[in-house]
Each structure stands twice: as C-alpha cells, then as structure tokens.
Amino acid sequence: MSTYDVAVIGSGPGGYVAAIRCAQLGMKTAIIEKYSTLGGTCLNVGCIPSKALLDSSHHYEHAVKHFSDHGIEIPGDVKINLEKMIARKQAVVDQTTGGVEFLMKKNKIDVFEGVGAFKDATHIDITKTDGSQETIEAKNSIIATGSKPSTLPFITIDKKRIITSTEALKLKEIPKHLVIIGGGVIGLELGQVYRRLGAEVSVVEYMDRIIPGMDKALSRELQKVLKKQGVKFYTSHKVTGVKSTAKQVTVTADDKKGNPVEFKGDYCLVSVGRRPYTDGLNAEAAGVKINERGQVEVNDHLQTNVSNIYAIGDVIKGAMLAHKAEEEGVFVAETLAGQKPHIDYNLIPGVVYTWPEVAAVGKTEEELKEAGVAYKSGQFPFRALGRARASADIDGFVKILADEKTDEVLGVHMIGARCADLIAEAVTAMEFRASSEDISRMSHAHPTFTEAIKEAALATTDNRALHV
C-alpha cells in the first residue's frame, strides 16, 4: 500500500493548489479525482468555460453592434457558428486542465483517478471507473470535493430543457427564449452570453434585486445596463413550478403582489446557487462532521473535528469562489508544514464577468450601516474618463467607502469595463490598510480605467475629484 504525508481528495482550484504547495514544502503528496480531467468545477464546467463563452459572445456583439462605429465595415452578415464557439471553449478547457496535469507531474504528485472514500481517518479507498479498488494510507488528508449546482425541491433538472450551468455551457442551439431562475453571478453571466447571441432572456429572481450579496448600487447599475441590452428582469418573483415538454418549458411564479404569472421558453436555466458536495466520500468512516447545510465543518485552521483531516473550498463555509479555495489550499499546506499562514476573508474580492464587469472587495454600504460604522463615500463615473470614451465603455462607476474618522478604506465597489482586473488595486490598498487619501496621492497612468479609482478616492477624501 502506498503511503503519503498528504492525500488531497478533489482536484479543483482548492485541491490542486493545495497539492502543489504541499509538494513544494517537501511532503509526499497524492491527489484523487473522480473525473478523467483535473481542475474541478472551475476549469471544466465553471470559471474558465464561462469566460471563454463570454469572450466569444462579446466579440460577436462587437462585430454586429459596434464595429461600424469604429469605421470597420463587414461585407455581408456576421454569423454565429455555435458549434465552433463551443468547440473553442472546450479547447481552452482542455489546454487548461492539461496544464494542471503537467503541474502535478512537475511537482511529483501522484494522481489517482477514481472516487476517494474514507475507510478510516488514515486510509482512503479509491474506486476507479472500471470498479477496481486501491487503498492508500495518508498521514493527513485534505477534503476538497467542491460543490454541485443546487435546485429547488419542486424542480427536476432533466438536463435537456431544464438545465444547470453545466448544460448551458454546451448547448447545441441558441435558445429562442431562455428563462433563468436566479439573478446571481452564474445566471447573469450565462444569460448575457445567450442574449448577445440573440436569445430572448428573462431572469426571474426571488429577492428584490439581482446580485443580492453585493452593494445595492452595483445591483441597480448592472440591472439598468443589462436591461438596456435587452435582458428582462422579474425581481421579487417566487418561482412555484417548472415543467418541460420535448420542446418547451413553463415556469410558474408568484409576482410581487402574489399573483400567479407564467413564463414560456424553450430552455430554463436553474441557477439558484450551489451545494457542498460530499456524496461518496464516506466522511462518517473517518468520523468527520458534516453540518446541517451539508458543509464539512472546520475550525479557524480549516481543520475538521478529526485532527489530521482538513477541508477547503466550496465544501466548507464561506464564498464559493475559486480564488478563495486556492488561498485555503495554500493555507492548509503551510499549516501542515508548521507555518502560521493567514487569510483575510474580508479581502477576498467578488467579481461578475458580465460586461460591464462588476467587482467588489470589503464591506458594502448596507453592511457598514448595519454595523453602525461611521463612513464616508466617494464615487466617480467611467463616462468622465478619456480612456472609457476612447473605447466606448462609458457605463458604470467606482465607489469607495472609507472610515469617517481615520479615512481607512473599508470597501471598494465598481462596475464598468475591466473591473475584474481593476479590483486588484483595491485589494492591494486594503491589504496595506491604505486610506482613501493614500490612493488619491498615487500616480495612475493616463489614460487608463484605473484613473476612476484615483478620482473616486479623491471624491472620498474630501470631495475633490478633478474631472467631474
């Protein structure tokens, strides 16, 4: 029987990063993955493929709607080849998952393909697709089994007409009318992809606003911009049922006033969140506690109630984000090596990759109000920037929230072009506990979108933005 210092179960961004860091720190490491490709949800059916389709559909939209503004004329119609677009997405996925395989080899990590199930706290049975079994011994284990799409109790996902994000990433036709249940990140990103490709898109959301966890100002602006792009929104609507026939779906809901309404479409994307995944793990055999929400319970060291078993990523509490899972993977590896790592969960940024992009870090205005923190706020619109006008990306703004007395930046919320990348400046500033004045006194290259951050900081410091 092979023996390891660490066995990682699950090869998503949490698991494979944990494995690399363990190997870097000199531990003999194994990783177990039930699928034939590494990379987990993120690389196979999450972050990477969704961004590939967002980019492809963005190019198409530009060609159809905006090229002529730039003096670029295309003779004849611009056409979509969906099959090719999906194949390109798959090629990006294959390249990226292949990259993880390379990294495992480079770091001398043993990869086991099969379902990992605890036999006891130091032994894991691995069942391969052909049914054969192998058992390995591990001094320490890291559970990184991630999550799966969740649904509502009365909805049956048939994967044909009533689908999750996984199927939405490989449709064979452009929906005529895509009804999306849930106005969160995944629903909106995929909704925008198909809207750009010509589908009618209706978003039915239970809450009174989309992207409900983010600052209210971002929800409002994103809904406004997506509405302009033709997406229809039905907020404060409680879905009561979804039925499908061979070619049609019917979603029923109660509207704001409790009156029944009906949406007919050819596809229904259920994007109501994700649930932690521990099926087949046999956590009980090791004595690992799973809480009532299905999460593996961990303490501040990401250690389960069994001292040599840790858990990271989507399968534990906290934001279900790839970069959060990665940080936790590194954290556990370094803890096992006797180091004292730290993660500031307040500074894990959240991003929506629609266009305009939405990004945020730190506290929202609603959270500060609720906590009774005295704060000041400054905002700057992208439309006032030369760079935004040059590229015709004028929607959105940057908003900074800072402590009323100390001026320390407490939250940065932005919507606009390239915000997914711009947010890194805010994270850096907040990691070093910058004040809004610190940011406002840093030189920002001109012309760039980053100037909106400097201007918002000037507005926050003492209401002296220069270009409004």
Ligand X SMILES: Cc1cc2nc3c(=O)[nH]c(=O)nc-3n(C[C@H](O)[C@H](O)[C@H](O)COP(=O)(O)OP(=O)(O)OC[C@H]3O[C@@H](n4cnc5c(N)ncnc54)[C@H](O)[C@@H]3O)c2cc1C
Of 4-12, 154-162, 261-269, 447-455, which segment contacts ligand X by CB under 6 A?
A: 4-12
Residue 373 Cα distances to 360, 365, 367, 406, angstroms: 19, 10, 9, 12
Q: How many residues interact with ligand X (rule CB under 6 A)? A: 37
- On the 0-12 / 13-18 / 19+ scale of CB atoms within 10 A, 243 is middle
CB of 368 to ligand X, least distance (A): 24
Nearest one of 326, 385, 322 to 351, comparing CA atoms: 322
Q: Which is nearer to ligand X, 213 or 241 (CB)?
A: 213
Quick check: 15 binds ligand X (CB under 6 A)? yes
Q: Is 410 left (phi over 0), alpha (psi -120 to 50) or beta?
A: alpha
Q: Is 78 annotated as a binding-site member? A: no
Please list the residues that pair with 242 across neighbouring strands: 251
The nearest distance, CB 199 to ligand X, in angstroms, is 17
CA angle 461, 467, 468 (to 5 degrees): 85
Applying CB under 6 A, which of residues 20, 115, 163, 272 lies at the interface with ligand X? 115
Query: Which of 7, 8, 9, 296 is the binder for ligand X (CB under 6 A)?
Result: 9
Q: x/- binding map, residues 322-351, to ligand X, per CB under 6 A?
A: xx-x--------------------------
In angstroms, rounded to a whole number, what is the distance separating the alpha carbons of residues 352 and 137?
41
Ligand-binding annotation for 404, yes or no, is: no
What is the total residue count of the chain? 468
Q: How far is the CB of 403 from ligand X (least distance, A)?
A: 28
- Angle of helix 47-61 versus helix 185-196 axis, rounded to 10: 30
For the record, the structure tokens of 115 come out as 């379902």
Question: Helical H runs in 142-297?
Answer: 165-168, 185-196, 216-228, 283-286
Q: Name the residue nearer to ligand X (CB basis): 77 or 279.
A: 279
Report in angstroms how near the CB of residue 173 gets to ligand X at its nearest.
Answer: 19
Binding mask 431-450 for ligand X (x = CB under 6 A): --------------------
CA distances, 36 to each of 40, 129, 185, 313 (Å): 10, 9, 28, 20
Q: Site map for ligand X, 17-56, x if CB under 6 A?
A: ---------------xxxx----xxx---xx--x------
Spatial CA neighbour of 239 closest among 257, 220, 260, 269: 260
Residue 466 has a CB neighbour count (10 Å cut-off) of 12
Residue 74 to residues 60, 66, 166, Cα–Cα distance (Å): 12, 11, 34
313 touching ligand X, by CB under 6 A: yes
- Work out how close the CB of 391 gets to ligand X at its nearest, in angstroms, rounded to a whole number: 22
Query: What is the C-alpha separation between 444 and 424, in angstroms, rounded?
Result: 14
Give exposure, 174-210, as e/b (b: 16+ Cβ within 10 Å).
bbebbbbbbbbbbbbbbbbbbbbbebbbbbbbbeebb
Pick the closer one to ligand X by CB: 368 or 423: 423
Q: Judge whether 428 is annotated as a binding position.
A: no
Q: Is 322 annotated as contributing to ligand binding? A: yes
Would you say 12 or 183 has its CB closer to ligand X? 12
Q: Which stretch binds ligand X (CB under 6 A): 201-209, 310-318, 401-409, 425-433?
A: 310-318
Q: Determine if the peptide bond prior to 49 is cis (ω within 30°).
A: no
Q: Which is nearer to ligand X, 164 or 202 (CB)?
A: 164
- Return the residues of window 409-428 that contact ligand X according to CB under 6 A: none
Stretch that binds ligand X, among 239-247, 277-285, 334-342, 437-445 (CB under 6 A): 277-285
Q: Tell me the catalytic residues.
A: 446
Query: Contacting ligand X (CB under 6 A), which of 147, 244, 436, 460?
Result: 147
The pairing of beta strand 249-254 with beta strand 260-265: antiparallel
CB 143 within 8 A of CB 310: yes
Q: What's the closest the beta carbon of residue 198 comes to ligand X, in angstroms?
A: 21
Q: Does 309 bind ligand X (CB under 6 A)?
A: no
11 binds ligand X (CB under 6 A): yes
Rounded Cα distance between 99 and 111, Å, is 14
Scanning 139-147, 244-252, 384-392, 438-446 for contacts with ligand X by CB under 6 A, the matching segment is 139-147
Tokens of 410: 């407490």
Query: Residue 168 CB, nearest distance to ligand X (Å)?
Result: 8
Q: What residue type is assigned to position 94 of the chain?
A: D
Q: Annotated binding residue at 273?
A: yes
Nearer to ligand X, 113 or 437 (CB): 113
467 annotated to a ligand binding site: no
Q: Which residues bind ligand X (CB under 6 A)?
A: 9-15, 32-35, 40-42, 46-47, 50, 115-116, 144-147, 165, 186, 277, 280-281, 313-315, 320-323, 325, 353
Residues annotated within the binding site for NAD(+) are: 182-189, 205, 273
Residues annotated within the binding site are: 51, 116, 145-147, 182-189, 205, 273, 314, 320-323
Residues annotated within the binding site for FAD are: 51, 116, 145-147, 314, 320-323
